[in-house]
A and B are shown apart, each in its own frame.
Chain A
Amino acid sequence: MQAVPGRNYFELFGLPESFDVDVVELAGRYRELQRRFHPDRFAAASESDRRRSVQMTAEINAAYQALRDPVARGRYLLELRGVAMHADTDTRMEPAFLMQQMELREALAETRAVADRGARLARLQRQVEELMEQKVAALRRHLAAGGGDGNAAARNAVREMQFLQKLTREIEELE
């Protein structure tokens, strides 16, 4: 999936192109741009203004989605560097990470059968959150290092974070 081609999302929000984004500031700028460009502002405008307003706000929404959470932001920064995330053919993962994922998934499956499920799920969720924090830190480091190795490591981190996100969703489903 790709966004509508257009300007750099960081530029759109007037923010420096960096992994470290002040999310409060980002949200404020998002709302301000929406408030100016939303089609409701153009209810009485000409057809071409309305069309542009829809395109513009669609782009603002896409940009906000791409920058608001660290996984999407990492993916977007790599995209800007020409590193594609969605190559289905490349499914290699670190064996250690895969082992860990299998263990977490087993633990998740076990909660279905136990009485103190709520407590177990909460524990599992904390575990996943901690892992996510570690990955965010690693991603920040790799992106700062850059270059072929840095980008490759960052890409790996993003893919691992996508796994963790999926796991988080599944935990939430069971809660």
Chain B
Amino acid sequence: MIGLILLPLVWASLAFVLGPGRGKWLAIAGLSAQTWFAFDLAQQISAGKAAIGHQVGGWGAPLGIDLAADGLSSAMLLLTQCVALPLAIYASAYYKRDDAAGAYFWPLMGFLIAGLNALFVSADFFNIYVTLELVGLAAVGLVAAGGGAQQIAAALRYLFATLVGSGLYLLGVALLYGAYGTVSIESVSLLVTAEAPRMVWIAFGLMVLGLMLKTALFPFHYWLPPAHGGSPAPVSALLSALVVKASFYLMLRLWIGPFAPLVAAAPWLAWGPAALGTLAIFWGSWQAIRTPRLKMLIAYSTVAQLGYLFLIFPLLNGPGAIQAGVMQAFAHGLAKAAMFVAAGVFIKATGQDTVAGLAGAVNRLPITLFAFGLAGVTLMGLPPSAGFLAKWQLIEAALNQGHWWLVLVVLSGGLLAAVYVFRVLRQAFLLAPVDTPVLPFTPVPRTLEWTAFALALTSVLLGLRGVELMRLIQAVGAVA
């Protein structure tokens, strides 16, 4: 487990020492090993171990740093490595040797992955704060790497959002420590009861608020579209597929773990995230349908898809809700990475970032367009994709508990997704108008097209292997 944190730190530092633009082979080799570690960990956990712990450096809980992985964290680790590895291969072909935008891509990506992996296995509140900041700062660096005024402005906006988010979280940690004198998640879980002092309620509220800001839940989504839509394609894919999922994971973990007694005492609390998630689905889809720019469309689609993740909160008492959430995180992670890298191919080939510029793409870039379409299938939730499985689980859980309006939200969200996906496909299949000259398509490396295709195909085929993933996440239910 420790390898998942140390390895990216090592290759990121080496890549930094090697100098700008270097280190891609280190990164790919490191990520391959990490993927293997993640699979190994997942296998151990689904084989029956409920949770695996590790004490860093042999120091125990009060002094040292404890790591722990259960089904939920190992599923998120798996998602992170499985998305990052194809993205690294894609980025190695995307950035030219002396591309200024890619100068520090490899070290920053390594630190980002290390932060994410550490977040998923951290067992105390304060370590989680540190990993949140690591992830945030690395992500801001990646956004700023484009170097233009627009990217810098997006990076600054993102930086303030992420700093305020983790600031709120840290204040929550401070209050918790003041109340209980410990920051270990395990000990706090034992201490929190429904009659907890008001300070603990405030801490819970602050943490959830901070994490919603970092997950870009409507109405805190304002920073996401410029940051995700304005960066280079590999960066947008990393941010949209993985970074926003980290704070969602954390919120879910707090909700079902240490703060479960508070939620049980006030069940109406769960409707807050669900209502905001509903608004996010409609607002994000509406903006995606309207925007003229391709990457902005995909970024707004992220805002909408994140909404689904928050629909599960009122359903967490019943079975299947956690599975639906994690399956949606997987489906969206893989599909959105595929969409952003496909958009990167289109932009490289046509030289413009507009939906209208895609006219005639079907003849020139059939593989990429197919990848985009497959990813769209997942976002719409058509069978047999992972998105279908996630929505099916969500609908089933909602019907079991009699919340039929959630079903309406899920179904209409799928229809809206179809509108914006077909908006792109329609443009690509229409031939360019006869009176304007056909813009020349720059040839793009094959690797770019095929990695996009592989990611999209995985997002669809995961639906067929969903049972294994569900069983892995089952191990969470037992712990929480």
A and B physically associate? no
Which A residues form the contact surface with B (CB < 8 A)?
none
